[in-house]
């Protein structure tokens, strides 16, 4: 297509699904901080005054208080007002956590050679990179994340932004011509706020203050913004809606610009290729673009549980490079077995809480972005 519009969305750390993701990743990091070989698959549900932790955890870590970890994660997000139904000290936390299945553990871990560690599950994972931005990420998603991250940063400042609350969403539509982004067609921002805050003031804040700062040269004219289009948004977060781990996988990845294998990231240790191979796919796709083999690249891996070697590899350059040359480069350069992925990206560390919000890709400080 020579001309099209691509829309991507982002949600803030206070969105109910992201609250659940952050709690799950906080549990994971607490386990890995003591025992890097921890096997963790932690799911979280949040609604009103209830938090449910469920899943499989096998770890040598001692003294972990999952309820305390959940409360601290909620407090860090900003849900710490006693007047709210959902608040860090007032929620009831239910734990339904068992050890990892012995059958899965045996197929994944009990290998004669560490390099032959099997994949933690079957599945397919995609990685993607594009040279349309310095971050090698799709522009609509980058701009959406900048808006929600800007809302969170402003909320934490004293003074003028005291009306902001943690729950928020953004959506950016970008027009492309000949494969390149040329203009923003529409921006949608919905932010939770204090009761009774004037809607005109919120609109003015977003259009005249926030957007110019975070969107820079891409900031469009005022008439292209929709700000809190439903009206008042005082009642939000888990007090209003349920949140579950893993429901924002497109927000977490490429905003609809690339395919997704369906597996969520948060709450899973790197033996789960849903997470680690998706990170590695991003790393590999970036290297293909950086090497000048393509302007856009999508990589697909697939795995079988307990088997180290991927069951398939697909490299697509969308006509911007030679698919076979790019695939040969990937096969020759990268160890795609789970142990190789973990070693290359140094994944047995408590680094996952920093990935939860505003995209798992395209941000500095993450090993797959190095």
Residues with catalytic annotation?
Answer: 15, 17-18, 43, 56, 169, 233, 241-242, 247-248, 268, 272, 274
d(CA 198, CA 190): 14
**168: Cβ–Cβ under 8 A, 6 or more apart, which residues?**
11, 12, 14, 15, 148, 151, 152, 189, 190, 191, 192
d(CA 20, CA 52): 9
Alpha helices (H) along 248-337: 249-252, 273-290, 323-333
Give the residue from 226, 225, 170, 160 showing the smallest Cα distance to 194.
160
d(CA 284, CA 330): 7
d(CA 77, CA 75): 5
Burial class (CB in 10 A: 0-12, 13-18, 19+), 194: exposed
Cβ distance 277 to 311 under 8 Å?
no
SS3 of residue 357 by DSSP: coil
């Amino acid at each position: 297509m020579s001309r099209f519009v691509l829309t991507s969305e982002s949600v803030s750390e206070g969105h109910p699904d992201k609250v659940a993701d952050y709690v799950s990743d906080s549990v994971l990091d607490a386990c890995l901080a003591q025992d890097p070989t921890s096997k963790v698959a932690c799911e979280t549900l949040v609604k009103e005054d209830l938090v449910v932790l469920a899943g499989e955890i096998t770890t040598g870590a001692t003294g972990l208080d999952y309820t305390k970890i959940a409360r601290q994660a909620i407090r860090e997000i900003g849900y710490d007002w006693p007047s709210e139904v959902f608040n860090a000290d007032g929620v009831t936390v239910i734990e339904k956590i068992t050890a990892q299945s012995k059958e899965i553990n045996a197929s994944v871990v009990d290998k004669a050679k560490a390099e032959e560690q099997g994949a933690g599950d079957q599945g397919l994972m995609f990685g993607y990179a594009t040279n349309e931005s310095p971050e090698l990420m799709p522009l609509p998603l980058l701009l959406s994340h900048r808006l929600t991250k800007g809302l969170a940063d402003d909320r934490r400042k004293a003074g003028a932004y005291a009306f902001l609350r943690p729950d928020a969403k953004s959506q950016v539509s970008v027009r492309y011509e000949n494969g390149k982004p040329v203009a923003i067609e529409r921006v949608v921002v919905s932010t939770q706020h204090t009761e009774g805050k004037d809607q005109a003031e919120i609109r003015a804040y977003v259009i005249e203050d926030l957007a110019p700062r975070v969107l820079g040269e891409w900031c469009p004219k005022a008439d292209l913004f929709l700000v809190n289009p439903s009206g008042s948004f005082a009642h939000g977060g888990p007090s209003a809606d349920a949140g579950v781990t893993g429901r924002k996988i497109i927000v977490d990845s490429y905003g609809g610009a690339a395919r997704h294998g369906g597996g969520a990231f948060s709450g899973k240790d790197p033996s789960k290729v849903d997470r680690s191979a998706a990170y590695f796919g991003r790393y590999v796709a970036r290297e293909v673009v950086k090497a000048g083999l393509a302007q856009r690249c999508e990589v697909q891996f697939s795995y079988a549980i307990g088997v180290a070697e991927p069951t398939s590899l697909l490299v697509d350059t969308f006509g911007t490079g030679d698919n076979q040359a790019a695939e040969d480069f990937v096969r020759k350069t990268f160890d795609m077995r789970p142990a190789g992925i973990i070693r290359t990206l140094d994944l047995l560390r408590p680094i996952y809480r920093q990935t939860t919000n505003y995209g798992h890709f395209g941000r500095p400080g993450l090993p797959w972005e190095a």
